[in-house]
Amino acid sequence: MSAHHPTRRSILKSAGGLTAAAALGAGGVLAAATTASAAGDGFGLRIVDRNEGDPRMWYYRFQTDAIGWNPGVNVLLPDDYHWSGRTYPVLYLFHGGGTDQDFITFDREGIRQWTAGRPIIVVMPDGGHAGWYSNPVSSNVGPRNWEHFHINQLLPWVEANFRTFAEYDGRAVAGFSMGGFGALKYAAKYYGHFASVSAHSGPASLRRDGGLVGHWANASAAALDLNGGTIYGAPFWDEARVSADNPVQRIESYRNKRVFLVAGTSPDPVNWFDTVNETQVLAGQREFRGLLDQARIPHESYEVPGGHFIRHDLMQRDIDGIIDRLRKA
């Protein structure tokens, strides 16, 4: 599909893909139905690298004033995208923290298999080694405004360049670990953006246990991404920012959404990081679920054996549930 790309046409955004194209005559209909267009610049993003050679997984790298380096994104298309003419719901899927996590994480884990034959677009962007899906209070390495990049640049760029439903019922957000926190945070702060939110081993409480997760966000970002800068401020937090980002303080913001939560109950006792991480995730998710129950907000949750890793069977179950909740292609 990548040999040549015609000029992007707004007709591909129409609901069926063919309605407006009919005015172009049979040739226009055929072109609209069979050819996917190459993506272009916009919304503060300039494409500096791209690969649209794979029929499903399209890759882009952007220059943006929001981030001091050029972040990448994988856009996974449905099997029938190039010829169906259909418009699709979208899942924004966020990776975890660490130097081994990036926009390719879920391709390594098996996202192509989990979505084979399924009518959904999956957008998987970079989020930094410890970006915490936030605009940090301070940075000593230039801009690292991940929240601005994802919400104000990437999301409208996706909707301008791919056949997606640009509406509440057309979008889901999910993630693993730090990305699960990012999903919970974005779903609450940008209430009208996402109808489904999922946290796979993602922390839901920043302040519990003396603010352990909040302090970990600051410490990890300072070490890995910001050269001593912090997400929430040090030695004193920007309390208003923490409250705005803290899922357990935003309970009403999850009403009328599909909420899906996964936490491990038996982290590896020999692995200090795994033990501290998933123990804190489990405690925070239990706190969060208790508050959802009190508010009579439905949610689907799983406590399962093991520690801090992506559980493929529950990712598959989650994707099926996301497709059921969102507007149909």
Active site members: 177, 274, 308
The C-alpha atoms of residue 125 and residue 116 are separated, in whole angstroms, by 20
Return the structure tokens found at 209. Answer: 């246990």
Q: What's the DSSP call for residue 234?
A: S
Q: What do you get for the CA distance between the two ends of the chain, in Å?
A: 21
The C-alpha atoms of residue 39 and residue 271 are separated, in whole angstroms, by 44
Distances in whole angstroms, Cα of residue 145 to Cα of each of 69, 224, 231: 11, 15, 10
Vertex 135 angle, CA 134 and 139, to 5°: 120
Please give the distance of CA 283 from its chain centroid, rounded to a whole number.
23
Are β-strands 57-63 and 72-76 bridged in parallel, bridged antiparallel, or unpaired?
antiparallel
Residue 168, Cβ density class (10 Å: 0-12 exposed, 13-18 middle, ≥19 buried): middle
Using DSSP's 3-state secondary structure scheme, residue 297 falls into coil
Element (H, E) at 19: none
- Residues whose CB falls within 8 Å of the CB of residue 239, separated by 6 or more in sequence, listed in order: none
Q: How many CB atoms lie within 10 A of CB 182?
A: 30
